[in-house]
Amino acid sequence: MNIIRAKNYEELSRMAATSVAAQLYEKPDSVLGFATGSTPIGTYKELIADYKRGVLDFSRATTFNLDEYYGVPVTDENSYYAFMHTNLFDHINMRSEAIHLPDGMAPDAEAQCVAYEAAIQAAGGVDLQILGIGNNGHIGFNEPGEFFPAKTNHIKLTDSTIDANSRFYASRDQVPTTALTMGIGTIMAAKKILLLISGAAKKGIMEQAVFGPVTPQVPASILQFHGNVTVLCDFE
């Protein structure tokens, strides 16, 4: 794993955006894997700024987001669909038909997972996957467990993730309890991965993921087995 320590969040965001830009320069029709959470917001701001300056073109790109809450409509401001549109897609020239998130309102969650996985394959797989990390080491919404889920799946969120997400809701009982997420195998199939980790509060979980044993108890630790991962953090 290539570990880069940025001076601060601004530098982390600039470096991450540069990496997305480099991918698009090299391959304008890249398949990009995007993540939600507060960590990539700065990266998305930089990408928007690059687009507005006329140095970045998303018109031939395709995107797949990691995950979506289940049972949450796209009109809900807490849906990941809304997050991605507000923080990125509404401000760049992505074709709407090239934007993909799991459908959190699909009546048959399992069928939706199969369809999402198939759509990623049909697009040729993800060229560059941006990841954040949960406080408990999750990537996408693959929570700590007994095994690494291979494919896109319908998961139950852990109490610690529900606690972390409750900051966006008036009360904890409004927080969605399940989600559709790319599996660990789906993520590991990306050709390149950029893991963004911001804030000293994540130093402990970063060290477990990057230097600790590879275990499904720390889902991000599996990234040690991927051949092209850059970990970009903003702490020593």
Catalytically annotated residues: 67, 136, 138, 143
Of residues 177 through 236, those in contact with ligand GLP by CB under 6 A are: none
Output the smallest distance, CB 59 to ligand GLP, in A: 26
Does 137 bind ligand GLP (CB under 6 A)? Our answer is no
Output the smallest distance, CB 67 to ligand GLP, in A: 5
Of 42, 134, 176, 219, the residue at the interface with ligand GLP (CB under 6 A) is 134
Of 133, 175, 193, 231, the residue at the interface with ligand GLP (CB under 6 A) is 133
d(CA 139, CA 181): 9
Query: Angle between the 80-87 and 41-52 helix axes, to the nearest 10 degrees?
Result: 40
134 closest CA partner among 68, 206, 194: 206
Strands, sheet with 62-65, edge to edge from the N-terminal-most edge strand: 2-5, 229-233, 192-197, 128-131, 31-34, 62-65, 99-100
Of residues 42 through 81, those in contact with ligand GLP by CB under 6 A are: 66-67
Sign of the C-alpha dihedral computed for residues 8, 169, 100 and 114 taken in this order: positive
Output the smallest distance, CB 39 to ligand GLP, in A: 3
Between residues 44 and 141, which has the closer beta carbon with respect to ligand GLP? 141
Stretch that binds ligand GLP, among 6-14, 36-44, 118-126, 147-155 (CB under 6 A): 36-44
36 closest CA partner among 168, 148, 233: 168
Does 37 bind ligand GLP (CB under 6 A)? Our answer is yes
Q: In this structure, are residues 183 and 146 in contact, taking their beta carbons and an 8 Å threshold? A: no
Q: Which residues, in sequence order, are bridge partners of residue 154? A: 180
Of 35, 113, 206, 232, the residue at the interface with ligand GLP (CB under 6 A) is 35
Output the smallest distance, CB 24 to ligand GLP, in A: 22
